Amino acid sequence: MCQSRVCVSLPVLIFVLRLGQKCMKCKEGTAILIIRVGDAFCRSCFKDYFVHKFRAMLGKNRVVYPGEKVLLAYSGGASSSAMIQQVQEGLSRDAPKKLRFVPGIVFVDEGAVCGQSLEEREVTLSKVQSVLQGTGFPFHIVRLEEVGSPGRVSRNYKQAVGRSMRHGPGEESQPQVLEKLAELSTADADAPSGTDTAPNSSFPAELTERLVQLFSSTKTLTAKQELLHTLRTHLILHTARGCGYSKVMSGESLTRLAVSLLSNISLGRGAFLPLDTGFSDGRYGDVLFIRPMREYSLKEIAFYNRLFSVSSIFIPTLDTKAPENSSIQRLTETFVTKLQADFPSTVSTVYRTSEKLNTCSAEDRQEDHLQERCLLCQCPLDTHAGELPASAFQATQVSENLSQQTKENCASRAETAGKTCCKQGQCSFPPPPPCRRAPGIMRLLCYSCRLTMKDLVISFSVEKAAESFTFTKSPFCGRG
């Protein structure tokens, strides 16, 4: 969501090229910027190009229907600001192909986990509020803390989920996910009594504290960023369901997507690349996430915002001012931007590579509603070892087992030390160590979310809490 971090060094971009160069499109106006090598645009042609791209993206994919309620995810950054501006543009136009959906905006205040004081957060919120009021669209400002609030919002939410349950099982695990996430910060499974605080008034400090505790017990920034992303997505989803939106638009730009493609590969999320970065993401069933800004490079967005005075708000986030190698995401971002400077086709090549990928065997299993999904990211589990003859997942487990003191380990070692094997070659070597079952909550997670969970210091007590919670109160996966 937040785009402002990918550095676009404005001075580097050539503003006025050769004196008097003409726009390559209309051949009349004076060119004011070069988008790609050789493509010089004048101001008005650039605007047409930008606006057309947005509408073409929606027109090409045809997933938003007239009259539908669409929630625009706003982060304050350049991309989502430009996205909102494009929606305004599209709705206000008298042109025959006017956009015909009904927009609303959601802003998630993440100040608590980014180390901001209440005062700082209030300042940010008032800025956001004034910007959003200016749009004339209904808007929802939610705080990240609400993800753990079993209060008013969640109750509405549960009803909403109850309604949406007809769309298919799998979704009903949602409230449990949220509640479980809430439990993460407290070792005791006692849910605090509900609060009826409106999202905008001051929030119980207790919830903030729990959230902060959760993040401070996470060892790595990599995991924190993953966790924040998951929580934020759940909260947006939750808001969309609670308020009856059936689509969510999020404003990831081309540059941002290229970065997240590479960082997701590094995080072990290869199977989910099409879901995480594709145009539409239907993993939640009833609410579809779409990414209409995915073909704009950050440079285009930065220039559009500058030329047509679209304001954005700078809000520090988890990795603001963090060193280059503080997290996998941050490192990838630096890597991609540096490579892009030397090889200008990097970002678009990465993007086009991703376009050729497909969701992991989800197609053939789509019918199967009981397909196991990751508790955190809701992607189909990619941890079915044994299906592949040899896999990285299996190999890691074998390594773990062999490096630890286990009975089978010692036994098999003593055995092989003495005698040679029976059947030549096809030797049924002590069958790949019957991998210890991943404990508790881990087996409900996908490969990548397991890595994130491993970085949670308190995960053990959490698992216990979550497990008792899960199996005493309600079943987690499917069949409610």
Interface contacts to another protein, rule CB under 8 A = 220, 222, 261-262, 264-271, 273, 325, 327-328, 331-332, 335, 339, 343, 346, 349-350, 352-353, 356-361, 382, 388-396, 398-400, 402-405, 409-410, 413, 416, 420-421, 424-427, 429, 432, 447-448, 451
SS3 state at 251: coil
In terms of CB distance, is 164 or 329 closer to another protein?
A: 329
Cα distances from 324 to residues 42, 253, 319, 335, in angstroms, run 36, 21, 9, 9
Q: Encoding tokens for residue 120?
A: 């700082």
What's the min distance (Å) between Cβ of 400 and another protein?
6
In terms of CB distance, is 29 or 270 closer to another protein?
A: 270
Q: How far apart are CA 28 and CA 241, in angstroms?
A: 49
Task: Count how many Cα atoms sit within 13 Å of the Cα of residue 391 in the half-sphere of its side chain.
Answer: 13
In terms of CB distance, is 44 or 391 closer to another protein?
A: 391
What's the min distance (Å) between Cβ of 358 and another protein?
4
SS3 state at 111: helix
What's the min distance (Å) between Cβ of 271 and another protein?
4
Q: How far apart are CA 271 and CA 362, in angstroms?
A: 10
What's the min distance (Å) between Cβ of 74 and another protein?
30
In terms of CB distance, is 217 or 266 closer to another protein?
A: 266
In terms of CB distance, is 34 or 357 closer to another protein?
A: 357
Q: How far apart are CA 464 and CA 468, in angstroms?
A: 6
Cβ atoms of residues 303 and 46 within 8 Å: yes
Cα distances from 296 to residues 70, 80, 258, 283, 315, in angstroms, run 21, 12, 11, 24, 22
Q: Encoding tokens for residue 269?
A: 């999320």
What's the min distance (Å) between Cβ of 333 and another protein?
11
Q: How far apart are CA 289 and CA 250, in angstroms?
A: 7
In terms of CB distance, is 140 or 330 closer to another protein?
A: 330
Q: Which residue type, as a one-letter code, is found at position 236? A: I
Cβ atoms of residues 289 and 281 within 8 Å: yes
In terms of CB distance, is 186 or 222 closer to another protein?
A: 222
E strand or H helix at 163 = helix 152-164
In terms of CB distance, is 208 or 225 closer to another protein?
A: 225
What's the min distance (Å) between Cβ of 459 and another protein?
16
What's the min distance (Å) between Cβ of 56 and another protein?
21
Q: Encoding tokens for residue 119?
A: 């005062």
Q: How far apart are CA 322 and CA 248, in angstroms?
A: 30
What's the min distance (Å) between Cβ of 283 and another protein?
16
